[in-house]
Each structure stands twice: as structure tokens, then as C-alpha cells.
A = this chain, B = another copy of it.
Amino acid sequence: MTGADAPYDVHEIPDFTLECGVTLRPARVAYQTYGTLNADRTNAIVYPTWYSGRHWDNEWLIGEGRALDPERWFIIVPNMLGNGLSSSPSNTAPPSDRARFPRISVRDNVASQHRLVTEVFGIETLPLVLGWSMGAGQSYQWAVSHPEMVQRVLPFCGSPRTAPHNRVFLDSVRAALTADQVFAGGWYEPDRWPVAGLRAAARVYAGWGFSQAFYWNEAWRELGHTSLEDFIVDFWEGFFLDDRDPNNLLTMLDTWWNGDVGRTPGFGSTEEALASIRARAIVMPAEKDLYFPPEDEAWAVSHMKNAELRVIPGVWGHFAGGGKNPVDTDFIDTAVAELLAAPSGI
């Protein structure tokens, strides 16, 4: 069984100290698995979630006949801290709840996932870590933090370090959401959300999520929308109103904003951290991604030992990696298959 209604598991880490110094007592990592772990525990793939995504939002790339075939692989999709299923402002008991929920780093996420993978499953090697967007950022971090474990990595539409312009974009989402006085510094009533702010954040996101050419071509018609406004309201505002707790959104936004593999202990720079990656990599930015532009990933690949840059062509921009259209999905699926068939980087 798959989808939002399928049962899923939670790994509880009793005392989980975050990089910021706060301890979650406990941290909970919600996760879903697809397929069966083999006897020698060598067929596990980690596929982290993206900004506000839940494990079921990754399922479009998993399935029979896909590269991520549960008949062959054991695919673990851990939910990011802050996404509302794993420990988050919305589901943590006082005193560390809501606006007081601590800052979460990409490394905190990877550390929590490493505990899950090793403590629950006894896994020591990962044929592949992959992910979209913030999931790509976590994939890079896995390859840097656990070079002995990660054989291959396939980050799509994401980066090892959040670029300055990307931060400007994120700050604008935050500013739009919090301009609504109902937000009240994060102390809004649980049953009264800052809806105007959420809708404004959705509209900001709408301009960035898809390319100029996507809108020029009215490619939203492929998603069943009937007008530009219908797409903005139904897809984008609907997206942000679909159980997206504002404090959760800001926790994940902060995680994203501060992402940088170069701050991993032991490294002096992003370049040095990238150079340390042993995993074989296919790095897949989208041609017209407006906040993870391909130039940035060309730069990242230039500092990696064993990486290929493979740009996803077309007009879908960031959402090329969102599983929303079959052409881009097949393009990514093909790369996943090729990478899994190639020799391990370790």
C-alpha cells in the first residue's frame, strides 16, 4: 500500500542534540519503505523529502518498471524534520513547540536519517542516495558526511550550498508569509492560520517554481488547469493551504537557507567538501530552474571527482523534478537506472 493513507513508521531517537545545541527529547523520524531489505542489507536506497513534501510525494519515481523498483531495491523515504510528520513545530510538545521549535540543519536531517538507517535496519552501505530540491541538498550532505556508505548520489534540482540569490528568494517567501499580522511571531492559534500570508507566499513561490517559458506556453494546461488564475489558486494556493503549518514551513525554510556541505566539521570550504565526495554522481539541474540554475551545479560538478552534469531540458523549471510530467520523469528515471548500473564510487 502506498499514498498518504498508507501506514508508516516512526523512529524515535530519545535524546537527539541538534547542531544549534538544543536537544529534541525525543526526535521522531517518520519514514516509509518500499520493497524488501535483502539478507546482506546491500540493496537500500535513501530518498529524502523536499520542502514541505511528505514521503508519499516521492512515490512518483518509485514502482515496478522504474529504476527505483521495489522488487529489487529497498527504498527508504525519511521525512525531513519540520515537515509535519517527523518532529516539527506543529507536533512537538511544549516547551519546544511552535515558534520555539529549534533550528534544524541539513546535517541534523542527515544525522537523524543515519540513525534510522543504521539503528533500525543495520545498513552499512547505500547503493544510492537521491532527492529533489532540498532532497538533493540532503543527498549531497549524505555523500559528504558518510563517504564510506554512499556508493552513488543523484541530486536533482538542488545544490550542495544554498546560493545567495536562492536565499533572497527564500527571504521573500518568509517576508510574505509573516507580513500577515495573524502570524503573530509564530504564536497564531492552531485553528486560525495566517491565510493571507500563506496565500501570498504561494504566489511568490508560483513565479519561481516554473519557468517564464512554462507560463508563456501555458504548460499548466497539461496539469488540468483552465486558466492562469485557476493554476495560481488551485495549484499554488491550494498547495500552501494543504495542511502546511506556517511554523513548519519556516523551520524547513531556515534549514534550506543555511544549507552548505562546506560547514560540515572537518572541511574548510564548500569546494573542499565537494572534493571529498567519493560517491559516483549524476547531478541533474533543470535547464530553466530559476532558483537552482544549472550554472550553479556546473560549478559544483567542477569540484567533484566522479560526477557528471546532466541538465534536464525543457520549460518546467524547478518542477521538472517534481514528478508532474512524464517527459521529465522519464529523463530522471533513465539517469537513475544508468547510475545504478554503473560501478560504485567507493
Which A residues are closer than 8 A to B by beta carbons? 163-169, 171-172, 175-182, 194, 196-197, 199-200, 203-204, 206-208, 211-216, 218, 228, 232, 290-291, 293, 295-296
Contacts and interface: CB of A to CB of B under 8 A. Distances in A.
B179 A196 contact: yes
A135 to B, nearest CB: 21
Contacts of A166: 212
A135 B236 CA distance: 31
Contact of A176 (B200, B211, B218): B200
Given A176-B204, A179-B200, 14 more contacts: A163-B216, A164-B216, A164-B228, A166-B212, A168-B207, A171-B206, A172-B206, A175-B199, A175-B200, A179-B179, A180-B181, A181-B182, A204-B204, A290-B290
Nearest to A292: B212
Nearest to A220: B164
Q: Which 8 A-B pairs have the closest CB atoms?
A: A165-B215, A175-B200, A179-B200, A164-B215, A176-B176, A165-B212, A172-B203, A175-B203
Contacts of A168: 203, 206-207, 215, 228, 232
Contacts of A164: 215-216, 218, 228
Nearest to A228: B164
Given A168-B206, A203-B168, A207-B169, A213 B295 contact: yes
